[in-house]
A and B are shown apart, each in its own frame.
Chain A
Amino acid sequence: MDGVTAAGVRASSRIVARADGRGGTALPVLDGEGPLALRRTRASGGEAKVMVVGAMSGPLGGDRFTLAARVEEGARLHVGSAAATLALPGQTKHEARYDVRLDVADGGELHWLPEQLISAHGSELQVATRAELGAGARLVLREEQVLGRAGEVPGRLTSRLTVRVAGRCVLDQELACGPGAPGGWDGPAVLAGHRAVGQLLVARPEFAERPPIARMLGECAALMPLAGPAVLVSAVAPDALLLRGLLDEALALLGP
């Protein structure tokens, strides 16, 4: 940890996954700190599993978190989190930042499936997730944002997701919501009162030849082939549980 300063906590964690040459995946770098502590858990098949364990609550206003995972050629990594991330107001007026950087090389596979991000009343958080994939890389990435704890007015949350495959940007989208966000965020074009919003991004090289067909999942969720070898499932739902159900259904539809 860089330490706790008046401006907030700075924490940065890194994971590197490397094929061990025996069909499994080694983790030569598993470097967590403070609120982003990392635990290796039981592996399954050739896949290494890591849990992000929130050792402190946060991010709080002024905090700056960075989490980076690199999956090298032929390695397979699954990253989850032990609990939801709760964005809270801090001592300072500054917003918090949470940057996630994912790199997956050709022939590598990453399942990035953290629990929800909850934007609590009074918090201000900017999340940026950037994934860089090689042409033959595979990625399953889930992000879920929950606006406020039960019955609570949410905080201000800006979340940007950028995915590049072989150097070409296939998805760049940002959602801004909560008090102080640009107008209309809770209106009929954006969230229409829904309090849970999620994205499931699945990139597979075979989608270049055979992209999945666009389809609806219920009334407010759609599976959409992107302009590249990836699909996005975009969903809004009344709560986190219903949202998870939609994203799980979509992942099952796409098959292994």
Chain B
Amino acid sequence: MSRAALLVLADGRFPAGGHAHSGGAEAAVKAGRITSAATLEDFCRGRLHTAGLVAGALAAAAVLGVEPAALDAAADARTPSPALRNAARRLGRQLTRAARACWPSPELEALAGEFPRGAHQPVVLGLAARAAGLAPGDAAYCAAYECVSGPATATVRLLSLDPFDATGVLARLAPELDRVVDRAVEAARRAADEGVGALPAASGPLLESGAEWHAAWSVRLFAS
């Protein structure tokens, strides 16, 4: 097992379906809330401290061996929007396929059997990291980074935003990402001792309602 497996798992080209999702950016662009690199940064920062923290903690907890079904139920309870639950399961199913090909493990096989329609993506991400021999913090980094890199690349396509500006946003968020990962791992360790109720539940109301709005469109570029 190698730490470099983290680079494979975190690679934007890892074939697990992420390219078709905007992480809420398409709805925020259409609502006029993302119009520039600065507003993209605000969006990503808010998403990082809410959905990103929760995803990071779920992934880290999965690496620590917390039962996947309990984590999946905790993810459901932390995702009021049915459109977001659906997107998370679709992405989880796609990630399960890619992870089984890359790091075959009995736990991933069991997950694929238990959740044929997909478990929540951060839970699968954690199990993939576990199968790859990675640490809880590695999985949390992966989950938290994805939650900002997805909207950033989507906004490049949606607004024809300068890709250097969009990537600059990600670089500026890096120190905050470190802090979110620390909080996520700490919460995951508590969850391993006390149960999934100890996981963070931070939410962004506009991420949830925006996802419902987006799901009702007949014409859109991204699946979520």
Contacts and interface: CB of A to CB of B under 8 A. Distances in A.
Check A-B contact in the complex, CB < 8 A: yes
Interface of A: 160, 162, 168-176, 182-185, 187-192, 197, 214-216, 219-222, 224-227, 232, 234-236
A220 B208 CA distance: 9
B80 interface: yes
A214 B82 contact: yes
Nearest to B216: A216
B45 interface: yes
B197 A169 contact: yes
B80 A226 contact: yes
A189 B209 contact: no
Contacts of A187: 39, 42-43, 45-46
Interface string B55-95: 00000000000000000011011111111010000000000
Given A184-B45, A189-B28, A214 B201 contact: no
30 contacts: A162-B197, A169-B74, A169-B77, A169-B197, A172-B74, A175-B202, A182-B202, A183-B45, A183-B46, A183-B49, A184-B47, A185-B46, A187-B45, A188-B34, A188-B43, A189-B24, A189-B28, A190-B50, A190-B206, A191-B205, A191-B206, A192-B206, A214-B82, A222-B209, A222-B213, A224-B82, A227-B77, A234-B80, A234-B209, A235-B205
B203 interface: yes
Given A184-B49, A189-B24, A173 B206 contact: no
Nearest to A182: B49
A242 to B, nearest CB: 14
A197 B204 CA distance: 11
Contacts of B208: 222, 224, 234
Contacts, number: 134
Closest 10 CB pairs of A and B: A184-B46, A187-B42, A189-B46, A184-B45, A188-B33, A182-B49, A227-B76, A222-B209, A222-B212, A190-B204
A189 B73 contact: no
Among B39, B45, B209: residue with most chain A CB under 10 A: B209
Contacts of A190: 46, 50, 204-207
Contact of A184 (B42, B80, B83): B42
B197 A172 contact: yes
Nearest to B51: A189
B45 to A, nearest CB: 3
B200 A174 contact: yes
Contacts of A168: 73
A220 B206 contact: yes
B140 to A, nearest CB: 15
A227 B206 contact: no
A173 B202 CA distance: 6
Given A188-B39, A192-B33, A224 B46 contact: no
